[in-house]
Copies of this chain bind each other. A is one copy, B any other.
Amino acid sequence: MKNYYDDCPLAYALNIIGGKWRMLILYHLMGGGLRYNQLKKKLCGITNIMLTRSLRELEEYGLVKRIQHSEIPPHVEYFITEHAEKLVPTLMVIAEWGKEQRLLEKGE
């Protein structure tokens, strides 16, 4: 997914939040922190690998914060950061748009 980042902020952004799961993760975290398995349940169908990978990537970019409570059994919680929070309304618009789109398709 390498692209002309420097010329186009949109391409740059999509490189970070694009991909199959990343926006979905941010979307589901908007309501507050979630634990690993809670998140997994919401993202119907995601595998451990993809969830872990995606979370790590989002963490690297500072979009997600990982909080580990020192307990046994382990208790880890994920939050979105302030900066990522700015994308939430956007994601909701896209979701809303998706609903309309689906209606259009079924209407035909």
Contacts and interface: CB of A to CB of B under 8 A. Distances in A.
A39 interface: no
Given A3-B20, A20-B1, A97 B101 contact: no
Contact of A44 (B7, B44, B100): B7
B96 A83 contact: no
Contacts of A14: 20, 23-24, 94, 98
| Copies in the assembly, this chain | 2
A90 B101 contact: no
Given A87-B94, A97-B87, A24 B12 contact: no
Given A1-B20, A11-B24, 11 more contacts: A8-B95, A10-B98, A12-B102, A13-B98, A14-B23, A14-B98, A18-B18, A18-B20, A61-B105, A86-B93, A86-B97
